[in-house]
Amino acid sequence: MIPELGHFALILALCMAIIQAIFPLVGSLNRTPDWVALARPVAWGQFVFLSLSFGILTHAFLVNDFSVLYVAQHGNTELPTIYKISAVWGAHEGSLLLWVLILSGWTVAVASLTRNLPDEVVARVLSVMGMISIGFLSFLLFTSNPFERLFPVPVQGGDLNPLLQDFGLAVHPPMLYMGYVGMSVAFSFAIAALIGGRLDSAWARWSRPWTLVAWVFLTIGITLGSWWAYYELGWGGWWFWDPVENASFMPWLAGTALIHSLAVTEKRGAFKRWTVLLALLAFSLSLLGTFLVRSGVLTSVHSFAADPARGLFILMFLLLVIGGSLFLYALRAPGISRGGGFANLSRESLLLGNNLLLLVITALVLLGTLAPLLYDAFQWGKISVGFPWFTSMFVMFTPPLIVLMGAAPLTRWKQQDPAALLRSLRLALGISVVAGLVMALPVREGSLSAGLAVALSVWLLTTLLTSLKQRLKNRPGIGGLLADIASRGGRSYYGMWVAHTGIAVFVIGVTFVTQYDIEKDVRMSPGQEIQLNDYRFRFDGAVPHKGPNYSAQIGTIRVFRDGREITVLHPEKRTYLVQSRPMTEAGIDAGFARDIYVSLGEPLDNGDWAVRLYYKPFVRWIWLGGILIAIGGLLAASDPRYRMRVLASLRGSRTATGTASAEVHA
């Protein structure tokens, strides 16, 4: 009976979504305040019913209700409680339910945090979000009902995929979905602005914090995914250019372009059309990501079983969203006013360059991801795009991007005197070139790539320091810095500062681990020792062990350096009982400057094991960079100028004319 309630709640949520999509929008167009006023309560209603539905599915997992097909497939009485909960989104139906719930959560957030925006704007935004919700809810109800019953009821469930029985993967999908779905807010603001025909700086300022928060979640989700792959897949890789990783990376790239473009639109009123297009693109890429993951058209570790009906549904939805929004854009774009002009050398032009590069990278990742599909569709053969290609693309397009990143904060809006720019960049340029050359010297086993990476990172850091110095010229000391952070617009700047530092850290991590890591697959007998770099590894054999829902062999590997034992690692080889699936748990000694990583391959004869021994320098810096980028985004999103109080005080000044400049320069 309870699961049926969950199903009914879903149906009611769909009804709410339909009301939310139609009435507020129509009301905002024919000026019916009652209809406009419907938007917020209906959004809340939808959220309540979806939470109920989600809660019921979670309950079914917790009480092992195997009469529900989805629970019977992915639940198990032996699962630890935390994984019973994460099993809710461990497969197709439940993860879609989570998706819709998160969409509804974002909708409610928009509904409650926009009290100071004009009601008709909020009504339109919520309407657009309602339309998206209709799409996903009908997808859920018509093709992937999580509450479908199973008869006869099995006594035991099929268990959660062991790969997903891990804390990292329990939180990775919700984070990623927060990001994916969060992009729908920027999309909805853009569509609402297109419908209203008013794209101004106010629009950019309204959607900017939302976009930033969504982008932060996406950043965290991707970072978590990479970290999980590193320790859970057992072979030390942190990024595979897997189609599903690309699916999350493309919206991130487009989102990165979008937050920079939004900054220009907010500050200078320029790039309006471009910004709108990016907002449409970022969400379209999120949808494309969903299509790629959920339809199973691509070979990937993430793909769930392929179902053509589902793929077709999302594809149609995707076409409808992209086609509809582009159509609306084509209708409205000619009416969008030009923004402020700028010279060839100005912060605007550098940001435009950065936007172009980001989009080129996005397009190339898209090409590499979709090429296998296209080749197959045109019968040109079955292909895969090699890992090296993606990497070389990245190595080609990232350096110019970082050069621009360093210079842009020191460049003035509107117009910059080249000589003055050169003067302020001189020192940073000198330091970074020298640092790069020193690193590239052959005596230090340097390499060109390591030299380039160091030069770029140092360039970023030194230009950031230069810009900080210029900024604090009139506010000396720590007190000045703190006052500046607290000031209006201050956190935007420091957010940029922290996020760009994150990029510098990330670049070092990626390059060093790629250039200097040592990987060795060996056969080891108990007691045998193997030297790797400065480290000596001794294998002390493996012993059987019983876990709650798996049995395992736990190995012991002692690691010595300079004759001293520095760590004992216990890599595991687990076999999960229900799905009889082997899993590798790596043994990792994590460090700031290096990780030591060992994992068990397979048992050979006489107690020998195939063992992987890795030395991974600076690998933590990759995720440290990701965390810094996320913190930077949060700082920027928390800037006081987005606060309601400020907006409220400006509300009176928002009249038909001159909304933008008055607010920005106030």
Partner 1 sequence: MNPVRKKRLILIGLMVTGVAIAVAFALNAFNQNLMFFYAPSEVMAGDAPPDHPFRLGGLVTTGSVQRQPDGLTTRFDVTDNVKTVTVQYTGILPDLFREGQGIVAHGKLNENGVFIADEVLAKHDENYMPPEVAASLKDAHNAATTPAAGTGAP
Residue of the chain from 381, 442, 476, 652 that contacts partner 1 (CB under 8 A): 381
Contact partners, residue 481, CB within 8 Å, separation at least 6: 472, 475
Q: Which is nearer to partner 1, 94 or 368 (CB)?
A: 368
Please identify, among the stretches 92-100, 282-290, 322-330, 365-373, the one whose residues bind partner 1 according to the rule CB under 8 A.
365-373
Neighbours of 423 (CB within 10 A): 10
Q: How far is the CB of 485 from partner 1 (least distance, A)?
A: 35
CB 339 within 8 A of CB 269: yes
- Nearest approach in angstroms of CB 400 to partner 1 is 8
| Min dist. Cβ of residue 621 to partner 1 (A) | 26
- Of 240 and 516, CB closest to partner 1: 240
Q: CB-hemisphere CA count at 13 Å for 665?
A: 7
Distance CA 328, CA 598 (A): 55
* CA–CA distance, 616 with 512 (Å, rounded to integer): 9
Task: Please list every residue from 157 through 196 that binds partner 1, using CB under 8 A.
Answer: 161, 163
Candidate list 85, 326, 356, 530; residue touching partner 1; CB under 8 A: 356
Give 165 or 501: the residue with its C-beta nearer to partner 1.
165
Name the minimum Å distance from CB 472 to partner 1. Answer: 32
Closer CB to partner 1, 54 or 241, in the complex: 241
**Cβ atoms within 10 Å, residue 237:** 12
> Number of residues in contact with partner 1, rule: CB under 8 A?
47
Q: How far is the CB of 256 from partner 1 (least distance, A)?
A: 17
Select 377 or 604, whichever has its Cβ closest to partner 1.
Answer: 604
Considering only 366, 610, 627, 662, the residue that binds partner 1 (CB under 8 A) is 610
- Looking at the Cβ atoms of 533 and 579, the one nearer to partner 1 is 579
Report the 10 Å Cβ neighbour count for 493.
19
In the chain the first and final C-alpha atoms are separated, in Å, by 59
- Hey, what long-range contacts does 642-648 have (CB within 8 A, 24 or more apart)? 642/205, 642/208, 642/209, 644/113, 644/115, 644/116, 646/488, 647/116, 647/117, 648/116
As measured in angstroms, the least distance from the Cβ of 392 to partner 1 is 6
Both tokens of residue 274?
Answer: 């471009």
Residue 243 CB, shortest distance to partner 1, in Å, is 12
| Three-point CA angle 379, 382, 388, nearest 5° | 135
What's the rounded Cα separation, in Å, for the pair 591 and 615?
A: 11
DSSP one-letter string for 48-88: HHHHHHHHHHHHHHHTT-TTBHHHHHH--TTS-HHHHHHGG
> Shortest distance, CB of residue 234 to partner 1, whole angstroms?
7
Q: Does 620 bind partner 1 (CB under 8 A)?
A: no
Q: For the chain, give the longest Cα–Cα distance.
A: 84
Closer residue to partner 1 (CB): 56 or 350: 350
Residue type (1 letter), 168: G
Residue 522 sits in the site that holds partner 1 (CB under 8 A): yes
Token pair in block for residue 484: 């500046």
352 binds partner 1 (CB under 8 A): yes
| Alpha-carbon span 557 to 550, nearest angstrom | 22
Told to check if 612 binds partner 1 by CB under 8 A, we report yes
Is 371 a residue that touches partner 1 (CB under 8 A)? yes
From candidates 37, 393, 481, 650, binder to partner 1 by CB under 8 A: 393
If the CB atoms of residues 152 and 388 are measured against partner 1, the closer one turns out to be 388
Task: Out of 316, 604, 644, 666, name the contact with partner 1 by CB under 8 A.
Answer: 604
Q: Least distance (Å) from partner 1 to the CB of residue 579?
A: 7
Asked if 583 is part of the footprint of partner 1 (rule: CB under 8 A), the reply reads yes
Restricted to residues 285-344, the positions that interact with partner 1 (CB under 8 A) are: 299, 301, 305-306, 341, 343-344
Rg of the chain on CA atoms, in Å: 27
**210: closest CA among 282, 147, 291?**
282
The CB-of-406 to partner 1 minimum distance in angstroms stands at: 18
Piece of the chain touching partner 1 by CB under 8 A; list 170-178, 186-194, 386-394, 405-413:
386-394
CA 258, CA 252: separation in Å to the nearest integer? 9
Sign of the Cα torsion 102, 104, 109, 114 reads positive
Q: Cα separation of 185 and 120, whole Å?
A: 16
Candidates 360, 438, 566, 662; binder of partner 1 (CB under 8 A) is: 360
234 binds partner 1 (CB under 8 A): yes
Tokens of 498: 């922290």
Contact region with partner 1 (CB under 8 A), list: 190-198, 313-321, 516-524, 564-572: 516-524
**Nearest approach, Cβ of residue 622 and partner 1 (Å):** 22
Amino acid at 576: Y
- What are the residues whose beta carbons fall under 8 Å from the beta carbon of 319, sequence distance 6 or more? none
Whichever of 521 and 534 has its CB closer to partner 1, that residue is 521
- Cβ nearer to partner 1, comparing 368 with 446: 368
Q: Is 523 in the site for partner 1 (CB under 8 A)?
A: yes
**In the complex, least distance from residue 581 CB atom to partner 1, rounded to whole angstroms:** 7
Nearer to partner 1, 32 or 579 (CB): 579
- Helix (H) or strand (E) holding 616, with range, is strand 609-617
Residue number, 360 or 627, with CB nearest to partner 1:
360
Quick check: 521 binds partner 1 (CB under 8 A)? yes
- As beta bridge partners, residue 521 has 612
Q: How far is the CB of 223 from partner 1 (least distance, A)?
A: 22
CA–CA separation, 106 vs 653, rounded Å? 28
Residue from the set 112, 156, 392, 470 that interacts with partner 1 by CB under 8 A:
392
Distance CA 464, CA 470 (A): 10
Map tokens 């030395």 to a residue: 615
Cβ atoms of residues 527 and 521 within 8 Å: no
Distances (CA, A) of 487 to 476, 638, 640: 15, 12, 8
Nearer to partner 1, 164 or 214 (CB): 164
- Contact with partner 1 (CB under 8 A): which of 37, 322, 364, 566? 364
Question: Least distance in Å: CB of 383 to partner 1?
Answer: 5
The Cβ of residue 166 has, within 10 Å, a number of other Cβ atoms equal to 18
CB of 570 to partner 1, least distance (A): 18
To the nearest whole angstrom, how small is the minimum distance from the Cβ of residue 462 to partner 1? 25
Output the DSSP codes for 218-239: HHHHHHHHHHHHHHHSSS--S-
Residues that bind partner 1 (CB under 8 A): 161, 163, 234-235, 299, 301, 305-306, 341, 343-344, 349, 352-353, 356-357, 360, 364, 367-368, 371, 381-386, 388-389, 392-393, 396-397, 521-523, 579-584, 601-602, 604, 610, 612
